[in-house]
Amino acid sequence: MKRLIKKAPGVLRKLFGLALCTGNVLFVQPLWSGGRQASEDKPATGASSAGAVASSAQEDSHYPVRITNYNYEKQPVQMVFTKAPERVVAVYQNSIETLLALGLEDRVIAAAGLDHEVKPEWAMAFAKIQYLTEFTPNKERVIMLQPDFILSWYSLFDEKRLGEVDYWHTRGTNTFIAANSGVSTSASLEKEYQDILTLGTIFNVEEKAHVIVNQMRAEVDKVVAYAQGSTKKRVLIMETQSNGLRIYGRNALGGDMATKLGADVIITESGLISAEALIGHNPDCIFMVYFGSSADKQTADAAVNQITGNPAYVSLSAVKNKRVFSIPLGEMYCSGIRTLDGIITLAKGMYPELYQ
């Protein structure tokens, strides 16, 4: 089941007052609100009182906000947030880690669906969260948790798992489907950025979200500046399957990431190719996708060996020049916070001298 979810097809700035994007989240728009009355706040004195008033004023000026996301039929749906969600259910690696990176662990009442441990820098924050024994909790289980916000992948919002988006909206529970998890026919780096920024807007932690995204953008800019003027590397990102080689083309997140870094991703559309076709394409660099974390060296090495250890591929330039590398699926498929890791993994393979 986990593997089927993983194999879902690739799909999928905030200005004050309005954010537009071309990804799945169409816009984020704070709406005018009179806010809470001063009399609602408990009396306080001194610096703490001033801080509380400032915090309350900031909250009042931010909400409500409206976002557009999608339901399971891939139709756009609008949601309004009158305050930051307080009872969040997060399912899947990118959903959980993005919330942790934004400092929102205290708002997460339950999490599920980790493929591997969260990154060490968020381990202490993750320890505060209730982690469910079910990899994917069903709708009945989530109902008992009484969430006000659920975020996950598109494939999990069906009746057999988390339940349909429209059902939750009738209960007053907002939802968020990751943009690159299956809602549209193409995925992109920009959609990963926008998801993080949109969550920053929903929870009123936009500064933190921008810091994260700006770090990713800066890494891309650094690589592009370095590669400028040089011959583009011809790249394929792929994994082996029983019926051929699965290619992550330019319409997949991994392919778009490599393209943004200055590569010539040879194949546009994701799909299967034969060994003969791979030999015919003869890429300069090959990135072998594997299911696991970056710390899983054994699995990573095995993925590379599927090409380098196969006599059929000895003629490939990438094999001859030792330019076959591994990349975890979680760094280049609906990657969330790990998008930065994916950018660096791809860049190190294409331009190793930049990171020496």
- Average pLDDT, integer, range 276-296: 93
Q: Which fold has domain 229-355?
A: Rossmann fold (3.40.50)
Task: Check residue 55 and give its pLDDT.
Answer: 58
Task: Check residue 257 and give its pLDDT.
Answer: 98
Tell me the pLDDT tens digit for each residue of 74-91.
999 999 999 999 999 999
- Average pLDDT, integer, range 195-215: 98
Indicate if the pLDDT at residue 30 is higher than 60: no
Indicate if the pLDDT at residue 35 is higher than 70: no
Indicate if the pLDDT at residue 59 is higher than 80: no
Indicate if the pLDDT at residue 304 is higher than 50: yes
Q: How large a percentage of the chain has pLDDT more than 70?
A: 84
Distance CA 233, CA 292 (A): 26
Choice between 317 and 17, residue whose per-residue pLDDT is larger = 317
Indicate if the pLDDT at residue 106 is higher than 60: yes
Could you tell me where in the chain the CATH 3.40.50.1980 domains are found? Answer: 2-33+58-204, 229-355
Q: How large a percentage of the chain has pLDDT more than 90?
A: 79
For the chain, the three-class secondary structure string (H helix, E strand, C coil) is CHHHHHCCCCCCCCECCEEECCCCCCEEEECCCCCCCHHHCCCCCHHHHHHHHHHHHHHHHHCCEEEEEECCCCCEEEEEECCCCCCEEEECHHHHHHHHHCCCHHHEEEEECCCCCCCHHHHHHHCCCCECCCCCCCHHHHHHHCCCEEEECHHHCCCCCCCCHHHHHHCCCEEEECCCCCCCCCCCHHHHHHHHHHHHHHCCCHHHHHHHHHHHHHHHHHHHHHHCCCCCCEEEEEEEECCEEEECCCCCHHHHHHHHCCCEECCCCCEEECHHHHHHHCCCEEEEEECCCCCCHHHHHHHHHHHHCCHHHCCCHHHHCCCEEEEEHHHCCCCHHHHHHHHHHHHHHHCHHHHC
Distance CA 158, CA 71 (A): 10
Please state which of the ranges 14-23, 59-68, 71-80, 84-93 shows the lowest mean pLDDT. Answer: 14-23
Residue 171 — pLDDT band, cuts 50, 70, 90?
very high
Task: Check residue 229 and give its pLDDT.
Answer: 87
Residue type, 330: G
Burial zone of 262 (CB within 10 Å; 0-12 exposed, 13-18 middle, 19+ buried): buried
Nearest to 89 by CA among 138, 16, 18: 138
Distance CA 174, CA 102 (A): 19
Choice between 92 and 10, residue whose per-residue pLDDT is larger = 92
Give φ, ψ of 34 to 5 degrees.
Answer: -70, -20
Strands 65-70 and 27-30 come out as antiparallel
Nearest to 142 by CA among 154, 127, 123, 157: 157
Task: Check residue 323 and give its pLDDT.
Answer: 98
Task: Check residue 52 and give its pLDDT.
Answer: 53
Residue type, 306: Q
Range 2-33+58-204: architecture per CATH: 3-Layer(aba) Sandwich (3.40)
Indicate if the pLDDT at residue 287 is higher than 60: yes
Please state which of the ranges 28-37, 53-62, 249-258 shows the lowest mean pLDDT. Answer: 28-37
Task: Check residue 296 and give its pLDDT.
Answer: 85
Residue 24 — pLDDT band, cuts 50, 70, 90?
very low
Please state which of the ranges 13-22, 140-149, 320-329 shows the lowest mean pLDDT. Answer: 13-22
- Average pLDDT, integer, range 147-155: 97
Indicate if the pLDDT at residue 272 is higher than 50: yes
